Copies of this chain bind each other. A is one copy, B any other.
């Protein structure tokens, strides 16, 4: 919910401005990774205008608060589910339709971090991206 994200924003001392709400709505409504300019275009089509600089700054902020995530393979942004395990983001991205789905699994996350630790590496954040086909596109 956009509301939840806004609340988190405010709890950290950031203002709940119109541009920020608009960006949230787009990310949440579209549900697939979007570039800053994608977001601008979508808003334009809805009769709203945001300067690209504002969008860049908003996305930076959202990412720093883990409210959004920069999808690694495309450089596009997607809204994070708030339920994501801290420091662990795992996304499935359908190559066909572009749908993106975040999922969290505590055990898997733990195993990966343990694996790294055995190699002497102390993990703080950890991103995984799966690209392939979602069930709908696969069955076609």
Task: List the interface of chain A (C-beta within 8 A of B).
Answer: 70, 72-73, 75, 92, 94-95, 101, 103, 105, 108, 111-113, 115-116, 119-135, 138
- Contacting residues, chain B, for A92 (C-beta < 8 A): 116, 119, 121, 123
- Contacting residues, chain B, for A123 (C-beta < 8 A): 92, 130-132
- Contacting residues, chain B, for A111 (C-beta < 8 A): 108, 111
B112, B121, B122: the one contacting A128 at CB < 8 Å is B112
| Copies of this chain assembled into the complex | 2
- Contacting residues, chain B, for A103 (C-beta < 8 A): 119
List 7 A–B pairs whose Cβ atoms lie within 8 Å, in order of A's numbering: A72-B127, A73-B127, A105-B115, A112-B130, A123-B130, A127-B127, A127-B128
- Contacting residues, chain B, for A127 (C-beta < 8 A): 72-73, 127-129
- Contacting residues, chain B, for A72 (C-beta < 8 A): 72-73, 127, 129
Task: Tell me whether A124 and B95 are in contact in the complex, defined as CB-CB below 8 angstroms, given that A103-B119, A116-B130 are known contacts.
Answer: yes
